[in-house]
Amino acid sequence: MTTQSNKGLAVVTGASAGIGAIYADRLARRGYDLLLVARNGERLQALADRLAHETGRQVEAFKADLVRKDDLARLEARLREDARITMLVNNAGIGSVASILQADVETMDAMIQLNITALTRLTHAVAPAFVARGTGTIVNISSVVGVAVEMLNGVYSASKSYVLSFGHALQKDLADKGVRVQTVLPGATATEFWDVAGYAAQKTSSTTMSAADLVDAALAGLDQGEHVTIPGLQDVGDWTRWEEDRRAMSAKFNNAKPSARYGLATNAA
């Protein structure tokens, strides 16, 4: 099958399997050419060849370990220089279920480099060109643990909280410049994430969503103009109310004096 429309070039990181591979499939069938990024070059190339054959799109495999500064710099340069790029899906990430006392600090540092640093730098690489053209889409994959921070490893949860906060700031900075920003918060999803994280049993839990359902829902949310998409949250009003309360409380932070509950003399002045 050949898709006739051409929506430009979509870049998908962490594309060799799981959520990233499903994004690659769906975007190719929507009319995007693809630049697929992952560490596993053999598996990545096999996916690229299959999608090119099935969809007729141009699909390029870009082997890179985004924890490595030289690999990350190569991809940043490509993103800055390729005017065909119209979408970036920041999907690459690693996680853990280990507590802070059990986790290896070097592993946690690598998690920060991939989940936060690489995502930030790649976003920065495409944003100026998107703004200059007045169009472009950035999709950042966060997680529900970015809100429910006590559920898994603290560094992983904190990294996903960063992605959510970063998305809010991007939406504020870029919304009036024609750039769409979507933050996706998957819950437990049946991917190799759980094998790497050391809890493979989660893949077959009754509360675990398939990667295909997750991506299809996320793309539907993008089509509907959602800024934050949480496929597993059944009542979107729960999120809307939580966000309204957060923003309302934010307006109450700016006070020159501490609260009276601290009993400081300054409150009597």
- Sheet containing 228-229, strands listed edge to edge, beginning at the edge strand earlier in sequence: 59-63, 33-38, 9-13, 85-90, 136-141, 179-184, 228-229
CA distances from 241 to 106, 131, 236 (A): 38, 31, 9
Among 23, 156, 162, 262, the one annotated catalytic: 156
Q: Counting Cβ atoms within 10 Å, is residue 111 exposed (0-12), middle (13-18) or buried (19+)? A: buried
Please indicate whether residue 156 is annotated as part of the active site.
Answer: yes
Considering only CA atoms, which of 159, 156, 154, 157 is closest in space to residue 99?
A: 154
Contact yes or no for 122/90 (Cβ under 8 A): yes
Active site residues: 156
